[in-house]
Structure 1
Amino acid sequence: MTPAVTREDAREKVPTVSLELYAKDFEKFVHDLGEAYERYGFVILENHGIDLELIERAMERSKAFFACDEECKKKYTLRGLGGARGYTAFGVETAKGANAPDLKEFWHLGRDLPAGHKYESTMPPNVDDVVEVEGFSEVNKQIFNALDELGNCVLEALAVHLEQPREYFADKTNEGNSILRIIHYPPIPPDAAGRVRAGAHEDINLITLLLGADEGGLQLLGKDGEWLEVNPPPGCVTCNIGDMLQRLSNHKLPSTTHRVVNPPAERAHIPRYSMPFFLHPNPDFVIKTLESCISDQYPNRYPEPISSDEYLQQRLREIKLKS
């Protein structure tokens, strides 16, 4: 496997933006987010308002679930859904273009819908009966809702940055097919040659908000072709652009390639946990390039619109979660 090339300049860092600006100086919030995303596709959010005790409780409950034996966890694997809900076992998901699966297992939680909802064919019900870990579903739904609210604040600013009304995304994500993914990267197994915790990839959705990841390893691919470490301070949320928003914005907001590399040998025995929230639009939202992002200098890269659900299904097949 080709050794990682990592940027040596320690001063190069993903920018940090405070959510306090959202209420105090929205114009600066828009400017700072837009500048960071156009440069890196990533930003670190501080003072985000999500209760740290809630985050700690969710992480503790998640660790308890992944500590269950394989037979127990696999009871919660739902066949035919491409991992959309419940448990996906270790060594299943494969990064687009990779030859070997990632070194991870994960749990998926989505939006609860009332019976008979128009989106129920594309947004299946959650698995709520994890009897082995008390409070597992409840606390993770609280995290889902908190990150959904935070993500909508970010999208308000990005709408303005893209020369749209501030409320542009409000009726396009209010029932979005968003996912909270709870990931466990176990200690690196002895037979892991040529495999990594998460291969280089881009996210499918509009934006991703990441909690946890106290154990390092997250890197983004810079425009100079070198890898940059992403090490958010404790208690912060890392937020990056996904492919759907890159497409909608005609690449004004880039969906940056990123990965989770394996730790050095002396830390290979330490597991890693994280909680990314993939904020998706409503399944029937049509991704059509914004006119404000098209010009003679930047012609439309995507003249053919596509629904967000159709795009999602294509990508799930590419990463081998669906056949």
Structure 2
Amino acid sequence: MEIPVIDLTPYVDAVSGKFSCDQLLHPELKAMCSEVSRILREYGALLVRDPRCSTEDNNRFIDMMEKYFEQPDEVKRVQERPHQHYQVGSTPGGVEIPRSMVDLEMQKKLKQLPKDRQPTIPTTPDLKSRYMWRVGPRPTKTRFQELNSEPVLPEGFPEWKPIMDSWGLKMISTVEAVAELAAIGFDLPNDSFTNLMKLGPHLLAPTGSDLGRHGEEGTVFAGYHYDINFLTIHYKSKFPGLSIWLRSGEKLEVKVPEGCLLIQAGKQLEWMTAGDCKAGMHEVVVTKSTLKAIEAAKKENRSLWRVSSTLFSNVASDAVLKPLGHFATSPLAVNYPAMYAGDYFEKELSVIKLKGKVGA
């Protein structure tokens, strides 16, 4: 089974005025809206092609991040900001706790799955490192300052800010396209999600996993979890290892075709659809496919850091997170009470041990 691919070119043409008809009412786009919402509902993820996001953009970004992660730990430690919940700057490996490690009810359900569908239940914090770079404008006033802090700029990378901002904004544009298409597919006004994303604490958040040190099969870099944001987007990684779980419970090792981006549903989308679209569960583990990619990289003398081009799009921290439109009348809406998105986010950060490390 493979995740379906959606080509966003018709949408990009529509919003750039190339269609003579009224943008999203074009029959081709209406069909695309239904397909996007269906795939997100059934798979918790979808693959897209966006002519605005190129392989060259991603390669430039990945090359720079490989150099950053290859630095000694003491150099990267200067960019750590635990007092800001690690929501900007560097997060070392061994800090973030995957939810499946602390959620006993989740563990109980996972053990009931067939063996070939069970994730690897981690016993230690995630080995992955991460860098959080805030993308886009921030609110001038907010109840949640730590979630909307200014980004941290590392020394020795003069190209850092233009590369991070350019690539981050391009991927946000892709997310906004999918958000509009999904909203229409879910029978909501097309700007239902994008309006709530304005001034959101969007994070370009590449992960770095050291396959040179931890390249054994079965090694867990990111334990089984869901994302707590709205939609997560990644470009193709040089090393496989990401597996997702479909709504049906099937486990699928993700294969991202060349030129495609992977988008995953996060908990905020689940909240706004009252569970009609569930947050996608996933993990990053060294697999046989990863081992083959490691051997190829060694032969070509390439970096053994597995870098993801992850971007977390978010609802604005001061916006109210609640079921939207007709989802508010769903019997399941009671499970998704209205609350500030920032309150929800900080609650989740506490569970995975990113909030409260220093003075909080």
For normalisation by structure 2, the TM-score amounts to 0.79
Which residue number corresponds to residue 83 of structure 1?
86
Could you list the per-position Cα deviations for residues 75-125 of structure 1 after superposition, in whole angstroms to 9, with x for gaps in the alignment? 1112301110011112211211314111211100013547x8113724001
- After superposition, residues 133-152 of structure 1 pair within 5 angstroms as 133-152=157-176
SS in structure 2 of the partner of residue 232 of structure 1 = coil
Is 1:17 aligned to residue 41 of structure 2? no
Question: Structure 1: where are the runs of 5+ without partners?
Answer: 1-11
Report the more deviating stretch, 63-72 or 193-202. 193-202
Answer yes or no: is the 8 Å Cα contact 1:147–1:277 preserved in 2.
yes
Could you list the per-position Cα deviations for residues 189-213 of structure 1 after superposition, in whole angstroms to 9, with x for gaps in the alignment? 4698985011100010111111232
Say which of 299, 321, 345 aligns to 1:287.
321
Q: 1:19 to 1:80 in 2, by over 3 A?
A: same
Which residue number corresponds to residue 130 of structure 2?
106
- After superposition, residues 136-215 of structure 1 pair within 5 angstroms as 136-187=160-211, 189=213, 196-215=220-239
Aligned partner letter, 2:168: F
Aligned pairs, number = 309
Answer yes or no: is the 8 Å Cα contact 1:95–1:319 preserved in 2.
yes
Which residue number corresponds to residue 307 of structure 1?
340
Which residue number corresponds to residue 9 of structure 1?
none
- After superposition, residues 232-311 of structure 1 pair within 5 angstroms as 232-264=256-288, 266-267=291-292, 270-294=304-328, 298-302=331-335, 304-311=337-344
Is 1:321 aligned to residue 354 of structure 2? yes
Answer yes or no: is the 8 Å Cα contact 1:162–1:292 preserved in 2.
no
Identity across the alignment (%): 21
Answer yes or no: is the 8 Å Cα contact 1:206–1:244 preserved in 2.
yes
Instruction: Write the distance in 2 (CA, Å) between the matches of 1:212 and 1:133.
Output: 23
CA RMSD of aligned residues (A): 2.3
SS in structure 1 of the partner of residue 79 of structure 2 = coil
Which residue number corresponds to residue 127 of structure 1?
152
1:273 CA drift (Å):
1.1
Aligned partner letter, 1:126: P
1:310 CA drift (Å):
0.4
Q: 1:161 to 1:75 in 2, by over 3 A?
A: same
Instruction: Write the distance in 2 (CA, Å) between the matches of 1:188 and 1:91.
Output: 17
Question: Structure 2: where are the runs of 5+ without partners?
Answer: 20-27, 102-122, 296-303
Instruction: Write the distance in 2 (CA, Å) between the matches of 1:112 and 1:151.
Output: 13
Could you list the per-position Cα deviations for residues 50-80 of structure 1 after superposition, in whole angstroms to 9, with x for gaps in the alignment? 1322211111111111111111111111230
Q: 1:222 to 1:111 in 2, by over 3 A?
A: closer
Aligned partner letter, 2:181: A
- After superposition, residues 66-77 of structure 1 pair within 5 angstroms as 66-77=69-80
SS in structure 2 of the partner of residue 220 of structure 1 = strand
SS in structure 1 of the partner of residue 90 of structure 2 = strand
Q: 1:132 to 1:97 in 2, by over 3 A?
A: same
Say which of 53, 58, 73 aligns to 1:55.
58
Q: 1:173 to 1:53 in 2, by over 3 A?
A: same
Q: 1:240 to 1:194 in 2, by over 3 A?
A: closer
* Stretches of 4+ aligned residues off by more than 6 angstroms: 190-194
Instruction: Write the distance in 2 (CA, Å) between the matches of 1:230 and 1:191.
Output: 19
